[in-house]
Structure 1
């Protein structure tokens, strides 16, 4: 689907669902309220240019007006506003394979595009604390009962997963005595769920949240059970990357991330782009 169509769908979906969901967010707190994070002096910083992509909605995409939009984009703006450096902040779109070279060459100061902090990347870049994690979730027809204890109930159910996916690996590891069926595509998996050929699906919570609210779902389904963070499979979460020499910016971003979380700004952005809460 073209990016403009994706953006238009997201905008319409958000406007329709947000009023009903605004008070129901379980967005987690990543910062300990007692933890002190000092605000660095950025008076000598002349520019803070973020680079991102436009192919990862709703985190970063081109909206119907042709502007760069998304959760990551609005988060970057909120951080700059919190730090009082809006005048020197810029956000630029680049292809994914150009993000790291752009940062290393000094053409940008930060990557905000879901770059995972692998051991190899930590040797080249500095990373902030995570600002969002994308948990795995179960989704089932609203009429399907999942009694507690949840893990025992799963043993009597058939669960759909995308074959060969990380979520298949998580399910097999966490629920070794439960039965799963692999599907080549999410469309086939969702179709079999609606046809009651399987009892639930297990996958990326953010992706499932959009399907739950989509016209194709016909209000059939809801999340069951809790979120599975599974860092050993899904990583540490989404972070902002800078060069190792720019640790001051990492400290500044961490200060701002903590501040906007405490003010509820991060949660507001989350519900703006993910009206169906996946936590």
Structure 2
């Protein structure tokens, strides 16, 4: 079991960005577009969970803003709030438990029956599908451009960046995606995120291309100092960025799969998913 490769560097980077935002909080962008991957006409039958005495969600505490310990050492984050909302929707809050384990112990805990669901960023792959059933994705990771406010472009889409220098992390999925999707752009590669952001602020590059989650937090940080803005996008490419985040359950638990899918659908339709989303992504990803 592995965390999506595109997210590994995000864990450390976002920890720092969360600290920056805590020092200088900004109001959520209420106009931000929130994710909804469901057909509004879709229905999912709710199975009877009465025979289950408890439902144990397993997660970690080192995957911010999805799972982390707050200033009172309480487990918090997007995943935690979503799990609690799912339990409320299914009227099983009294049966739900959220347990923190090191990443390396999650698979063993599930296999030994110590957990019923993983809400921790497990990559959806052919290998992991042999081990787990996955709910429909509740959050997909977009690639985004961030453009310096000092740069003027003609047009509102990525074609306007043709011939311009765009920073990207060398050897990353976003590096490969930029070259494949936007061959007219001139990639400028960096080894570290902070070097790339410094290049954007000093004018070494006109824009950068990368993970929408990380860029969202950087844009509202003190480091960015309102220098830049999202430009065009979002861009989704499962071949480069994966299928997104979903809850994993054991293959012998199709009842939980259906129940969680029903809850995620209901939460998405009535606005609760948007509330959770804006709580942790105030600048939006889309």
Fold similarity call, TM over 0.5: yes
Deviation per residue, 1:187-223 (Å, 9 max, x gap): 0010011000101000001100111100111111110
Give the Å deviation of 1:148. 2.5
Q: Residue in 2 aligned with 1:25?
A: 32
Please list every run of 5 or more consecutive structure 1 residues that lacks an aligned counterpart in the other structure: none
In 1, the alpha carbon distance for the partners of 2:112 and 2:17 equals: 32
CA contact (8 A) 1:62 1:69 kept: yes
1:101 aligns to 2:108 (yes or no): yes
Q: Which runs of 5+ in 2 are unaligned?
A: 1-11
For residue 16 of structure 1, give the secondary structure of its aligned residue in structure 2.
Answer: coil
Equivalent residue for 1:53? 60
Counterpart of 2:133 in structure 1 is: 126
CA RMSD of aligned residues (A): 1.8
Hey, what does 2:218 align to over in structure 1? 211
Q: Which residue of 2 aligns with 1:179?
A: 186
Report the equivalent of 1:87: 94
Q: Per-residue displacement from partner, 1:69-107 (whole Å, max 9, x unpaired)?
A: 000000000000000000010001111111111111100
Quote how far apart the aligned CAs of 1:109 are: 0.2
Match of 2:148 among 115, 124, 141: 141
Aligned residue-pair number: 275
67, 80, 101: which one aligns with 1:73: 80
Secondary structure of 1:251's match? helix
Change (3 A) 1:5 1:199: closer
1:37 to 44, 53, 59: 44
Paired position in structure 2 for 1:225: 232
Q: Does 1:160 align with 2:167?
A: yes
Cα displacement (A) at 1:16: 3.0
* 4+ residue segments displaced more than 4 Å: 1-13
CA distance in 2, matches of 1:5, 1:121: 30
SS of aligned partner of 1:216: coil
TM-score (norm 1): 0.94
For the Cα contact (< 8 Å) 2:13–2:214, is it kept in 1?
no
Following TM superposition, by how much is the alpha carbon of 1:9 offset from its aligned partner in structure 2, in angstroms?
4.5
Post-superposition offset of 1:150: 2.8
Between 241-250 and 28-37, the greater mean CA deviation after superposition: 28-37
Normalised by the length of structure 2, the TM-score is 0.92
Change (3 A) 1:206 1:145: same
Deviates most, 160-169 or 174-183 = 174-183
Residue 259 (structure 1) aligns with: 266
